[in-house]
Amino acid sequence: MTTRINIAIDVMGSDKGPETIIEASSISKTRYPEIKYTYFGDSKLISKYVEKYKNLINSYEIIHTDEEVLPEDKPSLALRKRKSTSMGRALFFLKEKKVEALVSAGNTGALMAMSKLELRMLDGILRPAIAATFPHKKGEFVMLDLGANTECSQENLLQFAVMGSEYAKVVLGKEDPKLAILNIGTEADKGKVYINETAKNLEKSYLSKNFVGYIEGNDIISGQVDVVISDGFSGNIALKTAEGVATLCSNYIKNIFESSILGKISFLLLSKKLAALKDKLDPRKRNGALFLGLNGIVVKSHGGTDALGFASAIDIAYEFAYEDIAKKIIGNISKQNIE
């Protein structure tokens, strides 16, 4: 694979508009100068904004589309009009291998439905999973599935373990990432039958040396493991709960410093420490969830993120294309040793 990697960008998917997406692509290109972009969307708008960034000169192509997938569009509607939308055209280019990866901040359900239809699954993979990274006490960890599959079998979870491990190797730089299954307890007989079956199969698989067992929701941020496996229902609830708690804590801290003169003085004294904490917990640095298991690299950005956040999603797309993650996942699926 050459280092000149072409990333498809759905310019029309962001809540903040096309200008934010173009700015993000410029930011990512400063980190990876060899990136080339294929922009999909309103060509007049794209041309207007792309001219502002000198580092994008001779590094992009624009594919005009007349329509876009709207936030309120149901997946069925998005599928019907996919040939004329920026999201749909970008996926077609990925399917035809005219680009190496795709990044979109558009409608998640529509993006997943179209991705499965256009790209199909990798050989041996039954279902895709949404994976992303989160902070813990010792750095970051990977969690999947975050909402693609509300119900799973033990074979699905075992494949998530394979895909999550490969994800962690690329994103976290962990040669042998430790992994656990999200459960309601750590005892061997806790949880649903398919979770217990997954644990038994992992103990017999090539991942056994890295499998530490079950982990409860309150321990996923402890730093014990690098990969947390879950069905999409539980994973999505854990994700949304964590986001809510983080917002609550942020509001508490803000109220403490704003509630009195002493609080405002304390804020000034601790401003550098608080800035460092804010930077460490900045969700924009971890923006971008990968649709693992598809026959192509699709990264979903949060729709409301800014240019820095979308640039992080582009970075993920580039890194996974460069590492040829699909080939590694296919190679390791054969090592599962399911009985």
Pull the structure tokens for residue 119.
């790209």
* Of 146-150, 313-317, 333-337, the least confident: 333-337
Q: Tally the domains of the chain.
A: 2
CATH number for the domain harbouring residue 16 = 3.40.718.10
pLDDT of residue 282: 60
Q: What is the pLDDT of residue 338?
A: 41
One domain, residues 154 and 64 = no
Same domain, 246 and 300: no
Residues 220, 272 within the same domain: yes
Q: What is the pLDDT of residue 66?
A: 92
Of 261, 284, 307, the residue at which a domain comes to its end is 284
Which residue type sits at 306?
Answer: D
User: Does 251 score more than 90 pLDDT?
Assistant: no
* Same-domain pairing of 272 and 145: yes
Peptide bond into 145 cis (omega under 30): yes
Residue 162: which domain range?
A: 127-284
Maximum CA extent, the chain:
66
pLDDT for 158: 93
Residues 6+ apart with CB under 8 A from 59: 29, 35, 36, 37
Tokens representing 296 are: 């192509």
The confidence score (pLDDT) of residue 263 equals 78
The answer on 303 and 154 residing in a single domain is no
In a shared domain, residues 78 and 32: yes
Q: List Cβ neighbours of 54 (8 Å cut-off, separation of 6 or more).
A: none
Q: Confidence band (pLDDT; 50, 70, 90) for 279? A: low
For residue 104, the surrounding DSSP H or E stretch is: strand 101-104
Q: Please check whether residues 300 and 268 belong to one and the same domain.
A: no
Same-domain status, 147 and 260:
yes
CA-nearest of 336, 52, 30 to 207 is 336
The answer to whether residues 110 and 179 belong to one domain is: no
Same domain, 157 and 108: no
* pLDDT tier for residue 1 given thresholds of 50, 70 and 90: very low
CA–CA gap between residue 84 and residue 42 (Å, rounded): 11
CB under 8 Å to 195, separation ≥6 — which residues?
Answer: 154, 157, 181, 183, 214
| Bridging pattern class, strands 139-144 and 129-136 | antiparallel
In this structure, are 161 and 230 located in the same domain? yes
Contacting residues for 254 by C-beta, under 8 A, at least 6 apart = none
Q: Please tell me whether residues 156 and 247 are part of one structural domain.
A: yes
191-200: Cβ within 8 A, 24+ apart: 194/152, 194/153, 194/154, 194/157, 195/154, 195/157, 197/154, 198/154, 198/157, 198/158, 198/161, 198/229
Backbone angles phi, psi at 86, to 5 degrees: -60, -40
Domain end (from 284, 310, 325): 284
Distance (Å, rounded) from C-alpha 55 to C-alpha 53?
A: 6
pLDDT band, very low/low/confident/very high, at 172 (cuts 50, 70, 90): confident
Q: Which of 284, 307, 322 is the last residue of a domain?
A: 284
Q: For residue 290, give every residue at least 6 positions away whose Cβ sits within 8 Å of its Cβ, in sequence order, or none.
A: 130, 131, 132, 167, 297, 298, 299, 300, 316, 320
Give the closest residue to 127 by CA, choosing from 148, 103, 104. Answer: 148
